[in-house]
Structure 1
Amino acid sequence: MSASHPNHDSVSTTVMETVNGSHQFTIKGYSLAKGMSPGRYIQSDVFSVNGYDWVIYFYPDGKNPEENSTYVSLFIALASDSSDIRALFELTLMDQSGRGRHKVHSHFDRALEGGPYTLKYKGSMWGYKRFLRRTALEASDYLKDDCLIINCTVGVVRARLEGPKQFGIVPPPSNMGQGLKDLLDSELGCDIAFQVGDETYKAHKLILAARSPVFRAQFYGPVGNNSVDRVVIEDMEPSIFKAMLSFIYTDVLPDVHEITGSTSTASFTNMIQHLLAAADLYDLGRLKILCEAFLCEELNVDNVATTLALADQHQFLQLKAFCLKFVASPANLRAVMKSEGFKHLNQSCPSVLPELLNTVAAADKSSTSSSGQSSKKRSVSSVLGCDTSTTNARQVRRT
């Protein structure tokens, strides 16, 4: 046996690498943040890289009082309950002139004398107390229309063990959803028919039961009827039931444009609202979340009132909170109140109006004195055309 080429029984390789992720943090209304005092910060939303949570902190008056607000400070912090996380970082203040002269502080693409930075515990930070002089920042192209854009890249260090590769075949993506959809469309083996208005839709009891606790109880529960072969669905449009069936078989939000034949955004949103109600009726948790996410993204002054009414009636708490904040925005409030949907909201969900007033008051709390809050609340009450005490009294009498 040659000493230079030993015949090893086994081999392994450890690869040290980084798993990278980026986050863009935009600060609008920079001038309003000045004067917060040193040590006070504006933070980004939490974002995840390699299973760890991170957050960006921007100090408009600097991190330390001794700097006397001469510099702005910028840091990235670990937001997970973890310890001894080793990572590389890059903080970039974007040049908004289009010339690409960004201000970059980076661990990447340079030699590291001490190796990656180690974050010992939740809240550990890396960054710069003297990131940039505030006078220089305010005279630069980093600030445009009172807006700053900060890019952050995190590279979490990990050790990856490589073993001998046994196979070189790439498996195809799953097509189970398409296969089940083909089964539904072909009506092969269907054992249940639904009469929805003038339309009839055939399906498979076992698939419906596997996806919906309501269907499972209806066909296989203690008081269910497994021998039934036809069910009449009332109070639901055929297109909504068809869309719900499509989701049950495919697990993806259906192409509602294809189902309705309409390209109208308003009609699309209206159908998603009805589909959300159907998902709640049949306890389709993932469909509910998909519909809520879509409605949040498409929220505007024309549809927010009807969406809020739906969220209140079905107790979709996250969607309701999102709608309340949208309506309570000074930029949206009066426009929403002029919409037809607001009239429906006022009539069908009067209990929402006091909650709306409280949301407006909470939004103003940080910048308004105690007497100013009362004035604001009374002003909004008169604008809405309601009295919260009267509304609450009506609610008590009804119960």
Structure 2
Amino acid sequence: MKEMKHTWSLQSEAVRAVHLIKIHGLDGLHRAGFRRRQSMYFVKSTWNVDGYDWEVRLYPSHVDGSSLSSYNVALKLIFLGEAGGIDVTANLTCRLVDPSGALQPSAEKITATTSFRRPSDSSESLRLMSLGDVFGSAIPVPSSNLPQHLGQLLESHAGADVTFAVSRESFAAHKNILAARSPEKTSRRVESQEMEPSVFGALLRFIYTDVVPEFDKKMEPATATLAQHLLVAADRYGLDRLKAMCERRLAAARLKARCVEFITGESRKTLDAVMETQGFKDLMVNSPSLLAELLVAAHGNGRKN
């Protein structure tokens, strides 16, 4: 199998999850002695955010002082998953919510963004509870390589169950892929004398990969000829995308030919005027092959005159 090249894109959007943690009997826990055991927590809530498991723990420790109604309620975010070689970045945002609805929710308190690698990692504690916002990190995702894999499948002939005989050349393919891409029905063996093998090969590769590599090159007579034949084949097999690609490619070729014909026409003044423009100067720098084609056409018309 050929070596695959991967490109990576960065998913920059944060993934947010909002949860409500309900705490009952907090004052009773304080009076029962939890205020002296600050390392203990009595409520935990486990969430799954963006494919990672998280746990939020509540520590109902009491603030030393004369007021029994003053609490230092702490929340801690625990990462339970495995990040592998990629950091998972997250933070925790919390606010108090009045169960009766008489009071407005308190202002949000948020931790600093923290990177997690192991389950033992955790964020800093907060002094407020109850709504938690957990953000999944930006994780690099490889771009789709399905077309490359299907192209390799076409080249390997693995699992092929249909054969096309085109002008004494054979092409192996897969009926299911052909059926998914084209409404044209196929039998186990198909013979065709109406198409050149090079054209059929390009057609088959497009069916598997959705691209025509020849169209990425500069327009040449051979490319224009291929586009003409593929246009006929695309219309026959119901490949609308390929048909549009061929029409666009051929339109560009015809437009270029008309422009060259206009510039190098009967009047020398037209060519002289074009040569004075900034566009012509850019053409000299960026497209020497097109410039050469233009000069050859102008020279030919000059000899005729």
TM range, normalised to the smaller chain? Answer: 0.3 to 0.5
Looking at both structures, which has the greater relative contact order when contacts are Cα pairs under 8 Å and sequence separation is at least 6?
A: 2
- Larger Rg: 1 or 2? 2
* TM-score (norm. length: structure 2): 0.41
